[in-house]
Chains A and B, each alone.
Chain A
Amino acid sequence: MTTEELKNLTVAKSVDARGTACPGPLLEAKKAIGTIQSGEILEVLSADEGTKNDLPKWCNKQGNEFLGMVEENGYYKLYLKKK
């Protein structure tokens, strides 16, 4: 997905994991994914650069679809679709 497409996504839930380092963002994502419906989009904000690699792997394992990420000033917005 392009950055424009990602920015225009309708997000069901956004979780701010910028206050926690690895593996915090994964734990936050795991907690948040349970609160949304199948097919809905979850947005994860992370200031931890490792999350860029970790979250796609997490999605892969869980069967969720990793859509992409947008780099903001000092943090990342990552998007995934629940299976």
Chain B
Amino acid sequence: MEKSNNEITMEKLLAELENLKAKTTQLENSAKKDQLSIAIISGDMDKIMAGMIISLAAAAMDTKVKLFFSFWGLAALRDPKKTVKGKNFVSKMFGCMLPKGYGKLKLSKHNMCGMGPMMMKNLMKKQHVLSLDEMFKEAAELGIEITACEMTMNLMGFKKEEFIDYPHFRIAGAATFVADAGESAMQWMI
């Protein structure tokens, strides 16, 4: 009896093969994609810049990049040329207090009432660093995806009509970020 149990039969081999196949598929499905997911919750010029520079470098290396803008980060996506009507008082207040677009962001340190960002922009030009405007254009060309967080948009009274025209733009919730981040080899928060 024992002998026949240890015998290698075709059926056993085939069953083992099926087993292995199932395991491989399972592993393949759970493998991390060559993808970078960043949750950008800060609205400071330096932090947005850091996020964009890293994203561009990753995209240049053919890594798929997905950016999730939330809270203060949303202000960077506002288009200064667009105005929307029908906002309530609190939303209007938020709109007034927060920077209108990536061109108007403050530095997280040494902002000095706007002197800091001005000096930073001059320095960037001198050192041939891409401006945020150019970075967003490059990002669009490289297919970097931008998602605006719906819940914080509602919280701060931002409407999608006041955001920049960006080709790979969508509005979604936290679950989208969690799902994207879950399959990404790199997940960060700025």
A contacts, CB < 8 Å to B: 19-24, 26-27, 29-30, 47, 54, 57-58, 61-62
Contacts and interface: CB of A to CB of B under 8 A. Distances in A.
B61 A21 contact: no
Which of A19, A23, A27, A62 is the most central at the interface, judged by chain B CB atoms within 10 Å of its CB?
A: A23
A10 B93 CA distance: 62
Contact of B60 (A19, A21, A23, A47): A23
A22 B57 contact: yes
Is chain A's interface secondary structure helix, strand, loop, or mixed overall? helix
Contacts of B130: 20-21, 24
Query: Chain B, interface size: which category?
Result: 10 to 19
Contacts of A62: 61-62
Contacts of A26: 56-57, 60-61
Contacts of B56: 23, 26-27
B35 to A, nearest CB: 14
Contact of A27 (B60, B62, B128, B129): B60
Given A22-B53, A27-B138, A61-B62, 14 more contacts: A20-B128, A20-B129, A20-B130, A21-B127, A21-B128, A22-B129, A24-B128, A26-B56, A26-B61, A27-B56, A30-B60, A47-B128, A57-B61, A58-B60
Q: Closest 5 A-B residue pairs measured CB to CB?
A: A26-B60, A23-B57, A30-B60, A21-B129, A21-B128
A74 to B, nearest CB: 13
A21 B170 CA distance: 30
Contacts of B57: 22-23, 26, 54
Nearest to B63: A61
Nearest to A28: B60
A3 B53 CA distance: 32
